[in-house]
Amino acid sequence: MSTQAYTTIEAIVAAKEIVVVCGPGGVGKTSVAAAVAAMAAAQQGGRVLVVTVDPARRLAQALGLSTAFSATGGATKRPATSGAQQVPPAAFVKAGSPPRGELWAEMLDTKQGWDNLVARHAPDRATALRILENPLYQNISGRFVQSHDYIAVERLYELHSEGAYDLIVVDTPPTRNAVDFLLAPERMADFFSSRLLRLLTVPYRSRLVDVASRPFYYVADRVLGTQFLEDIAEFFILFQTLSEGFVKRAREVERLLADRRTTFIVVSTLETVPVREAEAFMRLLPAKRLHLGGLVLNKVLPEYLTEARLADRAELLCSLAPAVAGRLCAPGGPLEEFGEGLVERVLAEVGTNFNNIAVVARREAAQRSELSGSFEVVASAPELDEDVHDLAGALQLGRHLWSAGPGRL
Amino acid sequence: MHPEPAVLARKLLFVTGKGGVGKTTISAGLALLASTHGKRTLVCEMDAKGDLASCFESGPTRFEEREVAPGLFAMSMDPEASLRQYLSLQLRLPRAAGIGPMARMFDFVASAAPGVREIVSVGKLCWEVRERHYDMVVVDAAASGHIIGQLAAPQAINQLVQVGLVRQQTDWMLEILSDPEVSGVLAVATPEEMPVTETIELAERLKEETTVSLAAVIVNRVLPELFVTREEQAFDALRQPAATELLAAQLGGRPEPLLDAARLMVRTRRSRASHLERLRAALGEHGGTHAGAHAGTHTGTQGSLEGGPHSNAPGGGERGAPMLYVPYLFLRSSGLRSTRQIASALAAELEAGLEPGQEADLEPGQEAGLEPGQEAG
């Protein structure tokens, strides 16, 4: 690699107010988000918040927080705006990094997020209650697939505008596709301005008059039954009272994501499938006028594994194993006590193992050089001995990412 | 000896897992295995990412299923196309006439009535099973965070919708999904903290929120065990200067990188062993297939983590889902070759579960490392 000065995570984070950590599933987004936030709190100071909406509540584990505090608002009576929990400074001290700032963590409850949105945008309390009690609403907010993405960005907007934090690091929810997260506000706005919603909320009697829409209602009636259709219509008539607030908010959220104070850090491993998804995502960012801060490669194998002369040496070890074992186990030899047969097996295993891992390491190196042709790799981290499950682990990962540039491991 | 149906005897399998654990390759491998057992098999990718096609090197998959190997058909889910197909069958609407309203219809249904998108997708697969078009339908389903929504959708809709075609549809869908002889979920995990945690949560939520049973847990990318206790002691001795100098002289170069790589493997495997142990404990595994005992339960010098007999204890109380172990594949690239290897690893696991006397046919590289493990255990 050349001696050119690289952008570092440290520099990217220092200049931004919102860092969105995104990428394909299983690459360690949550750990990277926790690591970046922990490093920012430790090194740069200020109030740093790390947010996740992950239903599996992984960040809680990653930060060593109990999951109890995020129980649905009703039980704990905690308003969503104060759901954040501070990581005790003592934990930093214990991990060997006395913090300059504060680290806070928050986990979002999708259901609670929706309830808050309804409460905020409903014209009056009675309408809000009718919506909240509607069975369709309860299904939308609690149960089904698409609702996490929007709540994540919505909450991000809210947190940012409250201005309580100097830096907000967001671990994005698991989506079917990383891109879904970006499109969430747009989809929400589209939904409210759609012709379908209008079709749906037209009073029942006038439907029969409108010839153009008749086939639509015919099919809808046959499929869902008139009663359900009526229920849906009633619900959406109520829901439409939120529309103005929702659409306005969705636009503001979009603007915030595109703001210069916001940056996206894309995380990937060097496995084929995640790389492909990360690439697609990184190409979409500029198309949406969003700022790509950089690409972080996680869980990469050490580079020495790709060296050809070491592969030759491993081959040699396999073929010489009997002879070398003989030497090692000769009277007075260092491994005499173990016996030739056993030592021979161990040597062959060492050689075979090297060549096995080398196959994977070379595959990774190829992926990496392909990627770095189009995108700037700002940091990479090895697979750690242990998953990040506490602050010390987050900081350990963070130190790999922080100022290393793309430095090969 | 296995009162519950063997995995391959079911007709509809939803393969799920945390993102990145390899559920698409496992789906592909399982479908390939079923088809080589003479079952007419359909494999369906739910999220239309196109990864399934690369597992068969077959060109892109579409909603219309295509034969990618003898007796093996692949498709990708398209809820709108699925709804259209369903409506044209149910309402006998001429296809051409229905297109305009149908497109709007779908948008309407999907966004207005939550769960309908799920019903339409899962419904298509249930329908293939009900009509006996296939002996086996393997679904590369949503990730574990989302699968519950898909599988619970029929019940949710049933509570909301009292009459109409959708109601009729959810009734028979529930019948198919709730029958453990017919349908089941295969949870894929890798032996790492988060995938294991999600798998445990998934098992609980399946039980509480859906009527679909957990057919098995597949542990993917199990690393080989290089050394048993005594061998590891020898390995440690090898890393002492007296031995490394001798090795360096024999090899004409430093042996440390080779030894480091072996140590990396040993340590990574060891750090994962505890997660596997946690998974087994949480699932109350009953089966512990023969090959599984090789690949998973033996943790070398991790003697203290060994459950010993408990991992093979046939259900004293509640019986859990069987666990199947698929080794890490050290391959140059993914594709048909790795799909085949996964199929054969799964075959070894399933056969070992059925006929405990038979030796599993793992990859040669694995065999060497795993076999001595059993002696030491």
ipTM of predicted assembly, 2 dp: 0.80
Distance CA B24, CA B52 (A): 6
Distance CA B234, CA B81 (A): 62
pLDDT at residue B287, rounded to an integer? 44
Q: Are residues A104 and A173 in the same domain?
A: yes
pLDDT bin (cut points 50, 70, 90) of residue B109 is low
Per the prediction, chain A carries an average pLDDT of: 81
B146 within some domain: yes
Residue A59 has pLDDT above 50, yes or no: yes
Interface of A with B in 260-279 (CB under 8 A): 269, 271-274, 277
CB of A176 within 8 Å of any CB in chain B? yes
A203 within some domain: no
pLDDT bin (cut points 50, 70, 90) of residue B48 is confident
pLDDT at residue A356, rounded to an integer? 96
- Mean pLDDT over residues A348-362, rounded? 96
CB B377 within 8 A of CB B311: no
CB of B161 within 8 Å of any CB in chain A? yes
Residue among A105, A192, A110 at smallest CA distance from A154 = A110
Q: Are residues A327 and A392 in the same domain?
A: no
pLDDT at residue A118, rounded to an integer? 87
B255 within some domain: no
pLDDT at residue A26, rounded to an integer? 82
Q: Are residues A347 and A267 in the same domain?
A: no
Structure confidence by residue, pLDDT tens digits, A194-253: 666 666 666 655 655 566 666 667 766 776 677 777 777 777 778 778 878 878 888 888
Distance CA A111, CA A133 (A): 13
Q: Count of domains in chain B?
A: 1
pLDDT at residue B177, rounded to an integer? 96
Report the CATH number at residue B285.
3.40.50.300
A362 within some domain: yes
B238 within some domain: no
Residue of A nearest to B21 (CA): A26
Structure confidence by residue, pLDDT tens digits, A243-279: 788 788 888 888 999 999 999 999 999 988 889 889 9
Does the beta-carbon distance from A350 to B160 stay under 8 Å? no
Q: Are residues A156 and A294 in the same domain?
A: yes
Residue of higher predicted confidence among A29 and B353: A29
Q: Are residues A156 and A70 in the same domain?
A: yes
Q: Count of domains in chain A?
A: 2
Q: Are residues A367 and A338 in the same domain?
A: yes
> Beta-carbon neighbour count of residue A65 at 10 Å?
20
Does the beta-carbon distance from B253 to A313 stay under 8 Å? yes
Does the beta-carbon distance from B334 to A352 stay under 8 Å? no
The minimal CB distance from A199 to the residues B108, B224, B257 is found for B108
Measured between beta carbons, which residues in chain A are less than 8 angstroms from residue B145?
Answer: 54-56, 173-174
pTM for the model = 0.82
Residue B357 has pLDDT above 90, yes or no: no
Q: Are residues A67 and A163 in the same domain?
A: yes
Question: What is the domain range of residue A174?
Answer: 9-135+148-182+260-301+383-402
Per the prediction, chain B carries an average pLDDT of: 80
Q: Are residues A177 and A308 in the same domain?
A: no
CB of A100 within 8 Å of any CB in chain B? no
CB of B262 within 8 Å of any CB in chain A? yes
Residue A141 has pLDDT above 80, yes or no: no
Distance of CA A102 to the CA centre of its chain: 22
B239 within some domain: no
B136 within some domain: yes
Interface of A with B in 142-161 (CB under 8 A): 143-145
- Express as a percent the part of chain A with pLDDT over 70: 77
Residue B39 has pLDDT above 90, yes or no: yes
- Mean pLDDT over residues B193-198, rounded? 86
Cα distances (angstroms) measured from residue A49 to each of A45, A94, A168, B41, B190: 12, 20, 5, 49, 30
pLDDT at residue B274, rounded to an integer? 87
CB of B364 within 8 Å of any CB in chain A? no
A124 within some domain: yes
Residue of higher predicted confidence among B80 and B318: B80
Helix, strand, coil percentages, rounded to 5, for chain A: 60, 10, 25
A239 within some domain: no
Distance CA A49, CA A70 (A): 15
pLDDT at residue B170, rounded to an integer? 85
A2 within some domain: no
Does the beta-carbon distance from B165 to A223 stay under 8 Å? yes
Question: What is the domain range of residue B214?
Answer: 7-223+273-376
pLDDT bin (cut points 50, 70, 90) of residue B100 is low
Q: Are residues A265 and A396 in the same domain?
A: yes
- Mean pLDDT over residues A270-291, rounded? 89
Residue A67 has pLDDT above 60, yes or no: no
CB of B99 within 8 Å of any CB in chain A? no
Residue of B nearest to A388 (CA): B193
A157 within some domain: yes
B262 within some domain: no
Distance CA B175, CA B162 (A): 17
Residue of higher predicted confidence among B351 and B366: B351
CB A153 within 8 A of CB A33: no
A226 within some domain: no
- Express as a percent the part of chain B with pLDDT over 70: 76
Q: Are residues A292 and A309 in the same domain?
A: no
Residue of A nearest to B119 (CA): A144
A278 within some domain: yes
The minimal CB distance from A176 to the residues B47, B113, B369 is found for B47
B329 within some domain: yes
- Mean pLDDT over residues A287-315, rounded? 94
B15 within some domain: yes
Does the beta-carbon distance from A200 to B372 stay under 8 Å? no
pLDDT at residue B305, rounded to an integer? 31
Q: Are residues A295 and A320 in the same domain?
A: no
Distance from the Cα of B135 to chain A's closest Cα (Å) equals 28
Q: Are residues A125 and A29 in the same domain?
A: yes
Helix, strand, coil percentages, rounded to 5, for chain B: 55, 10, 30
